[in-house]
Chain A
Amino acid sequence: MTGRTVSGASSTFSDIIADPAIRDRWEKVRRYFFLRESTYDMTNRCNIRCEGCYYFTGAKQFASENLDETAWQDLMTAEKARGITFAVLAGAEPSLVPQLCRICFEHIPLGAIATNGLKTIPKEIDYRIHISAWGNDRTSKETRKADDMLARQMANYQDDPRAIFVYTFTPHNIDEARQVTGILADNGRQVTFNMFSAPVGYQGPLRHTPDSLTRTGKMMAELLADYPRTVLFSQYNIVAHTSEKGLHDLFSCTYPRMNPSTAIGLGRSFRQYRTDLQWDRDAACCVPDTDCSDCRHYAAGSAVVTARMYRHATGRETFAAWLDYVDTYLAVWVRGYTKGASLLSYPVTPPESQ
């Protein structure tokens, strides 16, 4: 999807935030600037095996598990001490080690867990729960080798305000997104969108093409319009995640893997711990072993786009687009944060670096 190109005339920041709607949203989101994330692989096991799974690519899948709760307590204490305020628990399947998830929550009370949703995570672990959906049940059966996934996921997280579904678009499940979103809407659930991003070296059928990106953007826009209370997304999310350019080419990725600077921001604080509690700066990003040129991953965008506030503050429209993106990001990732109405109802083109 391409966006409306905004005129080149720059506005001052004070002019931009003089707009009451923009100022209110700015004041709302800036209260969360304290969030500093790191991610943690919790176990090297999973109860299903999905085609194209980013975890079972590269070296991290071979890291030995560390199930020593004292070691995890020590790690979380150290993480908190160095300023980490948001924990993302992922790989391979965190629900298999709830005792470790609980330790993370007890030390760092804000966070999110990426899960396939087939095993319920105890309610006292009050993180946002991201439940992955890769199509309807027929497609899930083919891609993930699991039966009745959506029904089982919804049953496991019935009336659970922690839960949000994350629908990953591949070139082959674009049309199914309407059916899945309808089911989720009928059951009072929320969904956000992810893009399959190829692991390094992957040339299989799930890699997006220019045509599939266009069709995905169109479907996202339709669902956003048709299910505004169910879909947590914005027009600018669509632009950022379905452009032919990946996130790195659009916004210059700020994760250590692509950003050598350790002066400030993600390059300074972000770490991606493997299950042996080790981390490697050269591989540190939220989706290690993803091909950076094909990365449109929702988690990557949540950091990469939000970090680029400065370049978006050139005019009312680009800044409003950025605010819509950040508002969406916070609603998807932070428990208790409610997304407001989008400021823009149309897409705009991402600005160049200033």
Chain B
Amino acid sequence: MPLLNVQDLRTHFHTRNGIYRAVDGVSFSVERGETLGIVGESGSGKSVTCYSIMGLIPQPPGRIVSGTAFFDGIDLLHCSPRQARSIRGKRVSMIFQDPMTSLNPFVRVSEQIIEPLLIHENISRRDALARALTMLEAVGINDAAKRIHYYPHEFSGGMRQRVMIAMALITKPELLIADEPTTALDVTVQAQILELIGKMQRELGMAVIFITHDLGVVSGLCDRVQVMYAGRIVETADTRTLFKDPRHPYTRALQRSIPALQSKGAELYTIPGLPPDVSKNIPGCAFASRCEFATDRCAASIPELIALDATHAQACLRVQAGETLART
């Protein structure tokens, strides 16, 4: 049984300008100890998917219209608040993109790190502080005994992200959701943080959902990757297959537009147009209007995510029909 199994999740936002279908029918699962990457451009619904699982969607305007998210047999979307609280923050934790704004600037780091322990475990303050100290040392903060009592502003960006990681991991979660944890950081600091997440994962044996828009980060860290576009998963495969044999036109286009994969000076491939407006009802494939292979059929019906083999699934009608989409 997978550790987390999400089925047909739909999260919509009801606003004055209409209903934004931020996540519209997403199903996936995460095995114990596995690293799953979720890749997509801004607005593709990758963060909202995870926020929905964590119960962090403000309702209203958000509404989880349908779906289940079974974590170890408990449906996080329909269980009692009490049950949900015993899981969130203890067995599932999350780190956020911006370490500058996700720590409380008025509270000492020590208090913030021990908070999940005091809530979830029957532990004295003294023991909690001792565990927090060990954790801070594990995430690579020098002089932790002194710095644990600092306020967040006394740390640099990379250090704050380490504090966030320490806070997320102190309850030894089985699943860590990392929402673009390195996007706000410099590359040398990003390398430190990625290595740290990998190391902590090996030590604690936890599963990780890693949300990012950077295909480079995914390639080194993740076992499996799913690509999201306009609130749906368009392709999912193990990392090597996704990079070596991408099938969905969007995944292929995305790879062709990264400078690192192209020869220098050559014109980059660009995806024409803009991501669709998810407040409009799209009757067919959301990518059809930008896709170089689109036919009339693509605009008429929404393609399902269908497995090509045991680990590789994709949602393009023409690929599913067995056509080879050669570049013109």
| Bind each other | no
